[in-house]
Amino acid sequence: MNGFKDPLIFFSSLMVVYVLYHADQVMKARYNYRIYPKYHQLQPLAKAMGCGRVVWNDALWLYKKAEIEKTDRPKNISSVVITQAKKTEARKWLSEVSSVVLQQSLRDLQTAWNNYFDSKKGKRKGKEVGKPKFKKKSSRQAIRFALNAFTVHSESVKLAKIGHVKMVVSRPLPSSPSSVTIIKDCAGRYFASFVVEVSQLIPPPSVPPNRGDAEGRGVGIDLGLTHFCILSTGEKVENPRLHKKMLKRIKKANRKLAKAKKDSKRRERRKRKLAKLHAKVKDQRTDFLHKLTTRLVRENQTLAVEDLNVAGLIKNRKLSRAISDAGWAKFKALLEAKCDKYGKDLIIVDRYYPSTQICSFCGKLGGKKELDVREWTCLYCNTVHDRDICAATNLLKYKDAGGQSESQNGRGASVSLPVAAVCDETSTNYEQFSLF
């Protein structure tokens, strides 16, 4: 395989997989590794990230200038911001880093700029893409190396003009990576993110003996706040509330940061400490969501989850922090990626489907209920329902009730198709409504 010096290549135990796309059972996936640069490698890495940021900002300024003057974008942008800039006194230090980093930074900007205008013109489907922004030195930093600028070894990755960087490894790569992105987060940690091709569907992890065979099994998943999710099997997964547990320390760190003098070393240390607290919450939440989604996908063949409008729900000022802390959007994204990866069926239920109003036993509509009503009795069959378990069961029955499974738009993003209303669902008599 190209780019490998040692046939024994391993992954980090902190690996995160995101499926990018698939065609003819060939998928591209991204794997993240924790890396530990040596002290003398920190300055070359900082130079490379700074030069990539300068090239991005210079090119973006030329693009915005052409937009304001209503002229065509410069065709020789690479020559202006890289080749000619290296010959000037103000930008001669660009030659101290690998030219691959500068070229990749420029290509990323061109892609982002084209995506913005394609989105404005309607050529790019899905959520509208924002205009590229200038990069800051204080935020998250990233540089990308193409295949000819890096090599992967058993315990390190060799980067052009930087050298061997130690990498925490544990699992073999499925194929040769096409690129690597070196990331420095706000907490000062470094990661290497590889893009690799997976030629076939990956078999799911083995199911524990006490769980039985996943073939033919299905589960409905109702998301909540008291419990993170309620399954149609009756299981209720506790909400860890990770941000709430760390909130006291975060507030204290924020107060100390506000009192520190601007541009001082003390402020920099306190800012790093606050970033580490947020990074810890993020890592704990990601670990919880990965373990939960992996277990659900491993134990079931069909999964049904509601397409919640999270962006709209967080506008509720009383619940916005709790909803953001739960991580519903990331849970759904991981569930989609892993179902695609392991070949499982995922049903995205329409957000207007009245899952809490329908009796899961007889299928009759029981009327709208207030949030404090956690149990209710069906007027038609006298079945006593737990509100959340009933909703999860109805989500699993959504496709059989006339709903449609997940579809994709032109960008490959999952969407929920509109479903025609059923006559029984549109009418609710006064006696039923007055009971709740």
Q: Which residue from 324, 335, 401 is spatially nearest to 362, judged by alpha carbons?
A: 401
Tokens of 401: 């009730």
Tokens of 180: 């690597």
Q: Which residue from 158, 147, 156 is spatially nearest to 104, judged by alpha carbons?
A: 147
Catalytic residue among 108, 306, 325, 406: 306
Tokens of 366: 């029981």
Q: Are 136 and 183 in contact (CB under 8 A)?
A: no
Rounded to whole angstroms, how far apart are CA atoms 96 and 92?
8
Pairing of strands 156-159, 163-167: antiparallel
Catalytic residue among 58, 299, 325, 388: 388
Q: Is 406 a catalytic residue?
A: no
Task: State the CB neighbour count (10 A cutoff) for residue 107.
Answer: 13
Helix, strand or coil, per DSSP, at residue 163: strand
Tokens of 201: 């569907």
Identity of the amino acid at 371: L
DSSP code string of 118-152: HHHHT-S-SSPPPPP----SSS-EEEEEEGGGEEE
- For residue 161, give every residue at least 6 positions away whose Cβ sits within 8 Å of its Cβ, in sequence order, or none: 44, 48, 96, 97, 98
Rounded to whole angstroms, how far apart are CA atoms 348 and 126?
16
Task: State the CB neighbour count (10 A cutoff) for residue 161.
Answer: 14
Q: Are 365 and 354 in contact (CB under 8 A)?
A: yes
Instruction: State residue 226 phi and psi, 5-degree precision.
Output: -60, -50
Tokens of 304: 């049904």
Q: Are 160 and 100 in contact (CB under 8 A)?
A: yes
Q: Is 372 a catalytic residue?
A: no
> Can you say how many angstroms the Cα of residue 43 is from the centroid of all Cα atoms in its chain?
30
Helix, strand or coil, per DSSP, at residue 63: helix
Catalytic residue among 222, 299, 336, 406: 222
Q: Is 128 a catalytic residue?
A: no
DSSP state of 116: H
Question: Which residues have a catalytic role annotated?
Answer: 222, 306, 388
